[in-house]
Every structure is written in structure tokens, then in C-alpha cells.
Amino acid sequence: MNLLGYIARRLLLLVPMLVGITLFSFLISHAVPADPVTANLGEQAAADPEVVAAFRRAWGLDRPLHEQYLIYLWNLARGDFGTSISTKQPVALDLRQRFPATVEVAIVAMTISLIVGVPLGILSAVKRDSLIDQITRVLSLVGVSMPVFWLGLVALVVFYARLGWAPSPGRLSAGIIPPTFVTGFLLIDSLREWRMDAAMDALQHLALPAVVLSSYTLGVITRITRGSLLETLGEDYVRTARAKGVPNLTVIVRHAARNGLIPVVTIVGLSFGRLLSGAVVTESVFAWPGLGLYAFRSATSLDFPAIMGVGIVIASIYILVNLVVDIAYGLLDPRIRVG
Amino acid sequence: MSASVASTFTRVRRQGRWAARAGGLLAAATLIVASSASPALAGAAPATTLIVGSSFIIRSIDPGRTVETTSNMINHATYDSLVTFDGEDLKTPRPSLATDWKVSEDGKTYTFKLRPNVKFSGGNLLTSADFKWSFERVKNLKSNPAFYMDPVQEIQTPDPLTLVLKLNAPNPALLAILSSPSLGAVDSKLVAQKGGVSGPEAKSSDKAESFLNSQSAGTGAYILSSYVPEQEVVLVRNPNHWRPAPAVDRIVIRNITEPATQKLQVQRGDIDIATALGQDQIASLRNVPNVSTRSSLAATTFYVLMNNNPEVGQAFSNPKVQEAVRYALDYDGILTIAGAGASRLAGVIPTGFPGALDPKTAVKTDREKSKALLKEAGLSEVKGQITYGSDQVIWGVQMAVLAQKIQADLAAVGIQISLNGLPRATALQSYRDAKNQVGVWSWAADFPDGTNFFVYIPGRTVGKRAGWPEDASPAAKELAELARKAESDVDDARRAALMQRIDKRIVEVGPYAPLFQPAVPVAFRSSLKGVTFHSVWGLDFYTISK
Amino acid sequence: MALNRASCSAEAMAPRRSTAWGGGVLRLIPRPFRRSPLTVIATLVVIIWVALAIIAPLISPYGPLQQDIVKRLASPTEAHWLGTDMLGRDILSRILYGARISIPVGVAAVILAAILGGVVGSAAGFLGGLLDELMMRVTDVMLAFPTVILALVITAALGAGIQNAVIAIMVAWWPSYARLVRGLVLAIKEREYVLVARALGASESRLLRMHVLPNIVSPIIILGTLDVGHAILTFASLSFLGLGPPPEIPEWGSMIAAGRDYFDQWWIGTFPGLAILSLTMAFNIVGDSLRDLLDPRLRKL
């Protein structure tokens, strides 16, 4: 009952949070000094005041601010995010087309971080102060201190320009015909059609951006895992188990890791936000057509509906991921359930 | 557990871990290498596909609404106009959908004979009514290309294969204007069905844009098959085209924003043609095997703009300061940035058009003279701000780099300007609102005629942006009069001489410092034939073969 | 930001003895610094960078804005140790002058965020009630925006430039500090000595000044130090996207961005990145050690 109550409470809080986010997005994107109207018409047309007026009317830019917000909210509730001034498509469509790209690379990046980071962290904790430990600590430190965009560029120069191992930036090679857009996730869509060539190509293109994007979270997860495990390894019940003659492996896996990994779960949620942030620069470097690049382009071209839309979607993804993480945390840590 | 057993256990486990990790990395590496080494796995591309790298500047592909370069390139392939220009020519209009034309004595009536039996991609037959509809739609949509129709007073269609245009005044540039892809023949029946409107109410009631952004309705050699904004455009061969079939069946135009990436891709053969390279990237491609480059001059003027309006320009509205700026700039250095093949501009009309001035007569750097002029103006130190598009790369020239060069040049004579780089959208607005104190911009020819560059005349588009109205001074008024005369003069030789005079005068009294005209940075695989790059519409896909 | 706090170091596991003030200067150096050569190196790196930043005008071979078009895009040579960029400017000089921007910006952003967040957080924690609830909701919403996205939109709205970038980072980070300080204040409020002081009749402001504030300053300083590196990275990211200072200013992030178009002239983008990496790593290590020294409890925050 308590767990269900906990989940229910979190879900209820979601609604005002989302409303708050829309308000925040709206305020921010309207605190803009420049007028996007004339920026989106050609050289000669912008000189015609009639054309400009028609444009403003079409985009509701001539109504007072609070009215614009309410209209926006009403449309949002019906799934209409407005129309992007740059792409002329509904923002919802823009977001739908781009969101799988970002989520794909973020998930792969997070997976890499976990698959490599957790074992490394455990190893580092178990073999404390050994060479492995020292190297791991330095490498994870490098991971959290390195500018992601710089790593991306260096990786491109080395693996693409010099060595030719990685394919050119983008999701698919130009010669490959993309699979039909069903989910937008290239791996899923190509496998659906049994297009192994497209799937392999997509995977190849995912490799470098995902590895680059994972650098920060990899560092963090390694450090957290290590620290957390060091703590639990020093706990009484672990020493007791060891004293009782329980094999070391069992001690680590069954006793220390289970408790030690709980903080890691929380970190996964928090660092997903960092992944989404890092996606902006990474997508910029790798010409990856995802939400990050869209956010950057719409912010610099003052595309109000797009700025609001992408801000809301990214924030929502982050909230949902953290909700899932909190629930997982609740499942793992019995203290939460009771408390 | 004993210590030794424990340590053995740990060692084995550690080795096991290492082995597992190494194995995993090896597997991943093999996977990646193997996949890239087996092109046979690649999806079978239909017949011949041409892959073009571009940096998209597309707000719309609807011919009635666009004049952007990338859209022009697409529409030049999917629509045909009355006349066209071959290859990179800017001088001689050639028949396209019009087989023949006559101009009346007074220069105010143009009669075109249309090509018979031409079908649109959708199957409908081309008639003069389609041209009338298309032209009126362009005019009434009041969007970017609407000004093309300004000289036209009336459009008549005496029979399905004859089109008559009646002008307000003689306009020798008309044929050049009519070559624009925006004035191509649009399938009026089909587009009207999809919500297209050509009448006076078109501005508010036309709904055909989204249709035309996803599918073309023209007579061109190719059909627009798909358009994913900011990503790619796909064109496929038009089976109904009136000319013999082109060599390439499918064209994929990809948006690759990074010039460095485009360079690598064309070097590798990942793309066939790269149209958005930087001047510095092109330089390093000239000696690469299997890659060819073109270096024809672009019909674009790069210039420094100063604001003549004392409120905005302040010190820069002073003619002596403007002249000082012209002498302060290091043109040799600026030409280095403009890239190999660039040409210095003595005036605002680019080389290749009648009226262009000899680059040798251009202003030469003279820092001493510049400082003397500033002293004459009674100013020891001048402060200002230069506005430009921070992310703009035009014909491979990064405006941000150019602006920094100008900043350093002016600092050398005591003029301190700060950089006001804004994203393209915001910068453009400031420019159009005539709020630039100093700016560095370019003007690309909308149509291949020198009179297009009369925008610099006081009171016209660029003149207004520089705060230079017709009544600013007697000299300005005189210039405006001369321009009107030149525009309606039907005698070519007289017109050319007049335009040269105007060009010279603009530089003498105007708030501009013309800089250069760059060479178009296009690189392509050497195995391709027939690659040309026209200043107005870029690649002509019809002539390319692989 | 919470991620930094939750990271850890082995030094903390060592049992802590009371400091002995006799017997040799070396004993005066705090334990974490002595135990790990890495920490010593890191501290030196920070000191060296700060020193370089201060004396840059004296030791730079060229001016940061000095252009030499003829020598543009030159590879590292004797004349230009790290090569020149697309306008012929010396990369080494620009990196040295870049430190004069990155370091103060990193520190300023953190200080401003900490002050704003600290004030709001302590007010909320101390006063409680509606103000507290309101602050919690506002910070919830703001924390839901990944930092760079938020900073991106703010800088795009305000315009590019160093000041606006610092403001953007401050606006994006103060919620974390506010939440942290609020938590600390709440914890301290219930401590015995506060209850005793209150029982003895101390006023609210006196309580705040004498008891609460001194105890929250230390954690903030630690986390601030850890965050300076992060601030430098975030600012470099914003500059990389074009939202920082104008391009002639030698900011490391925008220098890397300029290097994007020049894969062949790798020196343009690589060296500034190494500068950022070394400085951020150094700050992170120093911050780690500072935390281990002053309060290992923060490891799990």
C-alpha cells in the first residue's frame, strides 16, 4: 500500500510540475528582445508591412502575453504544440521526428556508462589503492572534467578523419535508404523490416556519439559505485559475513553490492538530465538530428513555439526518468517503503 | 577463506574480467570494421544516385514563396521557366519553356511562344494559362519573390501557346528576372486542387505551401520526392519531362552544416558533390586525387555598410570617416580570407555584369591617408559597433572571421569597434531595420542582371538599410535619377556605360566599402561530368552524369 | 551538480587522528594532501594556472588579438609554439589570456549562485511555512530543466556575452544551492545548541548569525570548489555554442568551436581543450580533497 501510495503521490505531483514547466518555458522564451517575425521572411518581403502584419496574425503574436499563454496551454492539452516558425511544421511533429534520435543515443550512452562503470567501480573498490584503482580513479576524473564537445571533436578527427574507422557524422549513411518511420528508433524500425544493412549502419553511426556522450556519466557512475561500495564494505554486516567465512564473491554480490548500488540508481536518474544537456553540444558536433540540436537551433533563431516545445519535452523526459528511478529506488530500499 | 586461496580467486576473477572486457571491445571493433568493409550489405540504391552536400537555407520550397539559394537549386531542377541560362552564364538568356520571344519597339510588350506538348509531372499539359496563374500567384502571395512581378502590369494569354507580358516601363532586365526558378511554370490545375490560389486574395487564402513543400508540380527534369526540414531533400527523375532523360535518376541533397565534415565526405566519396565548403577547406582539396574543384566567381558583393543616419551611425555617418574606413582596410589580407580565386571589387556591381568596374581601380589600403582623414574630421578616436551574422558562412567565407579582420584593421588607425555578432535571424532584423551602425554583409544576385545591384542606390533596399534616403543630399538625388534612367534604357551599350558611372559614384559618395567577390567553393568527385554552379541557382542537375 | 557531491575519494576512509602541532613542518600539511601526490600536483596546477592568468600580459609572446594574416593557419613552430589560428593569432598567447576569463567566470558564477541560493535556501529553511513550500516548488520546476538547456534559452533570450552567460549559469544553479542550504539549515535547526540558545531567549536573527550561518558556510565552500570546475565547463559549452563572449575574445570554448572547421589544423581546437581539461581536473581533485579534509559526511549528499 505504501509503495502504491508513494507512486500515486509522485504521479499527482507531476501535473503541477508540468504546468509550472510550461509557464516557465513560456516566460523565458518571451523574454526575448528581438522579433522573430522579420527574421523568418525574406529580404524583400520583410520590408512590406502588410506581409509582416499577416505573419503576426497567423502566429498569434499580436495578442497580449497572458492570452498567448492561455491559448498555448489549451492547445497543449489537446496535443498541439503550435507550428514551428523555421520548419513550418507542427512543433509536435518536429519533436516526434527528433526525439527518438536523442533518446536512442542517450540510452546507449547510459547503457555504456552502466555496463562499464559499475563493474569498474566495484573492482576499484574491492582492489582499493591497487594500480587498477589508481587508473580507474584518474580515468573517471578525466571523464567528469572533460568538455564533451572537445572530446567529440577530437574523436571525430582521430576516428573519422584520420583513421576512417567511424562513419561520417549523422544517423545513416547517405547511400542507405532509411527504413519506414514507425517508431523513429532506427534500430527498431530497420529490424522490423528485416533490414540488416540499415540496422548495422545505424549502429555504426551510433557508436561514436554514444561513447562520447557517455564520458561524463561513466566517470560519475564509476566514482559513485566505488565510493558507495567502499562504504558498505566497511559496514558491520559485511565484516560479520566475512568473519563467518562467506566467500568473498558472495559477500560482494549478495551483501555489499545490493545495498551499495542503491545510490547508483539515484545517480542514473540525475545524470540522465546531464545526458540530455550534453546532448545539445554532442548533437551539434555530430550533426545528430535530435532534440538537443533542435533546441539550439530554435533558441538561436528565436522560434518561440519550438523553444517552448523542446523545453517542455526535455523537462518532461527528465521528470519521468526520475520518477521511474524514484520508484525503482523505493522498490530497492525498504526504508522508503515503510517511511 | 585462506589468504592465498582468496588472492588466487581474485586474480582469476580479475583476469576473467579483463578477458571479458577485452573480448567485448574486440567484438565491437570487429563488428564496426566488418560492417564498413562490406558495401554489399548496403541497401541497393536504385539506378544512379547523386549525393550532394549542402548547408540548407530553406524556409520554403514553394516557388511562390522563396528566393533562397538552396530552394532555388531544388526548384531549378523541378520547375522550368520561360528562359534560362546555360551553365554558369549570366549574360545570354536561352529558350526554356519559351521557344521564341519578341520585344516591342517601346520595350513595354514581350510576346513569348511556348513550347508545345510539354507535360507537368502530374500529367497535365502546359498552357499559357499555367504561366499566368503562376505569375499572378507569385505577385499576390506578396511573399519573397513578389517583387519580381513589379515591372509587369498585365499578363495576357491570347492562345494556349502564347504569353504576352505588358510592362509599366521598359525593363531590359526582364528576361533575366524571368529565368528565376520562382517564376517557373506551376501546374495550376493540380495546385489549385491542393488549395493554391492565384487571385488577389492569395495572401490569406492560399494553402498550397505544405503540398508544394512535399511534392513539386512542375515540368522540370526532376520531381521533389521528399523533404525533411533541416535534413535532406530527395529528387527523383520526372518521366514526363520534355527533354531527353538526364543521366542521374535520384538526387539526395543532405544538410551537412559542418564544412570540415563535408570536405572529408567528398574526399572519401561519401558524397559526390560538396556545395557548402569553407574557402579554407577548398584550398586543401585542390591537390587531392579524385576530387575536382570549381572556382568561378560568385555574383555576390561582400561589403562593409555604415549608417548614414547620424542618429544610428554617429561618427560613421560622417563622409570623411566613411572614406577613412575605406582606406584603413587591409584588402590583401581580406582577400586571403576570401579564399583563392576571389576578386577585389572596385564597386558594388560584381564582375561579369555590365557596369562592373575594373578591380585594378579599387581603393588601395593607405593607413596614413586614413588617419589624416580622421584628423580632418576632427576626430582622434572613433568608437563603434559592427553587426553581422555570427553563424553565417556565405560562399565559404565565415562572416565572424571577416568581422574580426575588419575590427583589427580599423583598430590600426584608431577606430575601435566592438563585435556585435548575432544569430542570423536577429542580425538580419537589425540590418533590415536600418539599425546597424556598421555592418558587414553580402548581396547576392536574385537574378542575373546588374540592375539587381541598384539596391545600393539611396532610397532602395540596401540604401535604406544604410540610412541613405534619396533626399539625403543632392548627390544622392542625382544618383537615384541616374538609376531610374539606366533601368529603362534599352540601348545596351549606353546602359552599360551609365551603370559604370553609377557604380563609381556609389562608392565615392555612399556609406559603403565594397570588399570582394568570392569564388564559389564547390568540390566534387572527379568521375562526375557536367558539373556547373550558377550564381543564382547553384547546381544544374540535368547536365550532371556519374 | 549533486553528482559532484556524491562522488568520493579513498582518503576519507583513513582513520582521522587529531592534529599534532609539534614535530616538523610536514605535519602541518593536512593529511589528504600529504597522502596523495595527485592532490599536491592538482593544487600546484591550480596555483600555476592562477599565476599564469595573472602574469599573462607579461609572459605572452604576442597579444591575444594580434593578427598576422600572412602566417594564418601555421602549425606549431619556433615562432608560434602552439601554432596560429585562421587570423594568424598566436594560440599560446590566447590560451594564456583565456585563463583570465575562464577562472574568474567560473569562480564568479559559483559565488553568485551560492549567494543567491544560500540566501533563498536559508530563508526558506529557517522561516518554513508557505515560503518554504513555494521555494520548493519553484526549485523543483527549475531543476527539471537540464542545465545547458536552461542556460541556452536564457542566454539566447538575453543575448550572447560573458555577463549574460554568467547570469544564465547563476539562474540555472541557484536552485541546487538553495535546496542544499535549506536541508542543512533544517538539520541544524534541530540541533541541541540551537534549541538551547532559543530556550535561553536568543532572537531569530542572532540564532541565524551565530549558529546557523557558520555551520553552513563550510559545506558551501567545499561544494563551491567542486563546482568551479563544472562552471568552467558549462561556460565553455555555452561559448562553444556561440553564446559566450564575441569571437575575438580568447575564450577557450569559442576557440574550440573555431577549430571545428579546421580538422587539418588540429592545434586550433586541441590545445584549448587540454587547458580546460587540466584546469577542471585540478579543481575537481582539490575540491575532493577539501571535502575529505573538512567533512567526509558530504560524500553521500
Please list every residue in chain A whose beta carbon sits closer than 8 Å to the beta carbon of residue C229: 145
- pLDDT in the model for residue B188: 94
Report whether A132 contacts A123 (CB < 8 A): yes
- Summarize the confidence of residues B537-541 as an average pLDDT: 93
Task: List the 383-412 stretch of B: residues with Cβ below 8 A of A.
Answer: 391
pLDDT band for C33, please (50, 70, 90 cuts): low
- pLDDT in the model for residue C29: 59
Residue with the bigger pLDDT between C14 and B29: it is B29
Considering the entire predicted model, what is its pTM? 0.83
Nearest to B372 by CA among B320, B308, B319, B316: B320
Q: Which helix (H) or strand (E) holds A88?
A: none
Check CB contact under 8 Å for A175 and B43: yes
Q: From the DSSP assignment, how many helices (H) and strands (E) are in chain B?
A: 18, 23
Residue with the bigger pLDDT between C274 and A48: it is C274
Amino acid letter, C8? C
| Spatial separation of the C-alpha atoms in residues C232 and B351, rounded to whole Å | 48
- pLDDT in the model for residue B31: 44
- pLDDT in the model for residue B14: 46
Report whether B114 contacts B99 (CB < 8 A): yes
Percent of chain C with pLDDT over 70: 81
Residue with the bigger pLDDT between C188 and C263: it is C263
Check CB contact under 8 Å for C269 and A153: yes
Distances (CA, A) of B248 to A84, B229, B244: 34, 23, 12
- pLDDT in the model for residue C106: 93
Report whether B350 contacts B453 (CB < 8 A): yes
- How high does pLDDT run on average in chain A? 81
| Spatial separation of the C-alpha atoms in residues B435 and B410, rounded to whole Å | 20
- Summarize the confidence of residues B72-81 as an average pLDDT: 96
Terminal C-alpha separation, chain A: 12
pLDDT at B511 over 90: yes
- pLDDT in the model for residue C30: 62
- pLDDT in the model for residue B6: 41
Q: How far is B278 from chain C (nearest CA, A)?
A: 8
Please list every residue in chain C whose beta carbon sits closer than 8 Å to the beta carbon of residue A319: 144
Q: Which helix (H) or strand (E) holds B496?
A: helix B492-509
- How high does pLDDT run on average in chain C? 81
Q: How far is C33 from chain A (nearest CA, A)?
A: 16
pLDDT at C114 over 60: yes
Cell matching residue A272: 540522465
Amino acid letter, A257? A
Least confident of A86-100, A138-152, B389-403: A86-100
DSSP C232-244: HHHHHHHHHTT-S
pLDDT band for C92, please (50, 70, 90 cuts): very high
DSSP C186: H
Q: What is the pLDDT of residues B181-197, one digit of tens each?
A: 999 999 999 999 999 99
Nearest to A20 by CA among C175, C152, C117, C184: C175
| Spatial separation of the C-alpha atoms in residues B225 and A177, rounded to whole Å | 13
| Spatial separation of the C-alpha atoms in residues B324 and B340, rounded to whole Å | 27
- pLDDT in the model for residue B468: 93
Report the neighbours of A using a cutoff of 3 or more CB pairs below 8 angstroms.
Answer: B, C
Scored b (16 or more CB within 10 A) or e, A94-128 reads bbebbbbbbbbbbebbbebbbebbbebbbbbbbee
Report whether C289 contacts C282 (CB < 8 A): no
- pLDDT in the model for residue B100: 94
| Spatial separation of the C-alpha atoms in residues B368 and B348, rounded to whole Å | 25
| Spatial separation of the C-alpha atoms in residues C137 and C144, rounded to whole Å | 11
CB contact B390 to C (< 8 Å): yes
Q: What is the pLDDT of residues A223-249, one digit of tens each?
A: 888 888 887 777 777 777 777 877 777
Report whether B194 contacts B129 (CB < 8 A): no
Q: How far is C247 from chain A (nearest CA, A)?
A: 16
Amino acid letter, C17? R
Task: List the 31-90 stretch of C: residues with Cβ below 8 A of A.
Answer: 38
CA torsion, ordered A297, A298, A300, A305, to nearest 10 deg: 180
The pairing of beta strand B533-534 with beta strand B538-539? antiparallel
Q: In degrees, to the nearest 5, what angle opens at C-alpha C13 toward C-alphas C9 and C18?
A: 115
SS3 of chain C: helix, strand, coil, percent, to 5:
75, 0, 25
The pairing of beta strand B438-444 with beta strand B300-306? antiparallel
- pLDDT in the model for residue B1: 37
DSSP B518: P
Distances (CA, A) of B117 to B219, B239, B240, B327: 11, 14, 10, 59
Please list every residue in chain C whose beta carbon sits closer than 8 Å to the beta carbon of residue A333: none
Q: What are phi and psi of B46, to 5 degrees?
A: -70, 135
CA torsion, ordered B303, B308, B312, B317, to nearest 10 deg: 100
Cell matching residue B355: 557596369
| Spatial separation of the C-alpha atoms in residues B458 and B241, rounded to whole Å | 45
Cell matching residue B480: 537615384
Nearest to A112 by CA among C146, C230, B21: B21
Q: How far is C214 from chain A (nearest CA, A)?
A: 28
Cell matching residue B342: 576571389
Helix (H, G, I), strand (E, B) or coil at B394: strand
| Spatial separation of the C-alpha atoms in residues A306 and A59, rounded to whole Å | 12
ipTM score: 0.81
Report whether B180 contacts B124 (CB < 8 A): no
pLDDT band for B252, please (50, 70, 90 cuts): very high
pLDDT band for A60, please (50, 70, 90 cuts): low
- Summarize the confidence of residues A271-280 as an average pLDDT: 84
Nearest to A156 by CA among C239, C237, C260: C260
Check CB contact under 8 Å for A176 and B43: yes
Q: What is the pLDDT of residues A172-186, one digit of tens each?
A: 876 677 888 888 888
Neighbours of A49 (CB within 10 A): 8
- pLDDT in the model for residue A20: 82
- Summarize the confidence of residues B416-442 as an average pLDDT: 87
Please list every residue in chain C whose beta carbon sits closer than 8 Å to the beta carbon of residue A267: 3, 6
| Spatial separation of the C-alpha atoms in residues B73 and C48, rounded to whole Å | 55
- Summarize the confidence of residues C224-247 as an average pLDDT: 89
Please list every residue in chain B whose beta carbon sits closer than 8 Å to the beta carbon of residue C86: 280, 337, 398, 401
Distances (CA, A) of A242 to A232, A239, A249: 13, 5, 10
| Spatial separation of the C-alpha atoms in residues B204 and A54, rounded to whole Å | 8
| Spatial separation of the C-alpha atoms in residues C277 and C229, rounded to whole Å | 9
- Angle, helices C147-158 vs A262-286, to 10°: value is 40
| Spatial separation of the C-alpha atoms in residues B181 and B97, rounded to whole Å | 12
Contacts 24+ apart (CB under 8 A), A53-59: A54/B142, A54/B203, A54/B204, A59/A83, A59/A85, A59/A304, A59/A305
Check CB contact under 8 Å for A147 and C137: no
Q: How far is A313 from chain B (nearest CA, A)?
A: 20
- pLDDT in the model for residue A284: 86
Report the neighbours of B using a cutoff of 3 or more CB pairs below 8 angstroms.
Answer: A, C
Least confident of A53-67, B365-379, C134-148: A53-67
pLDDT band for B213, please (50, 70, 90 cuts): very high
pLDDT at B524 over 90: yes
pLDDT at A293 over 50: yes
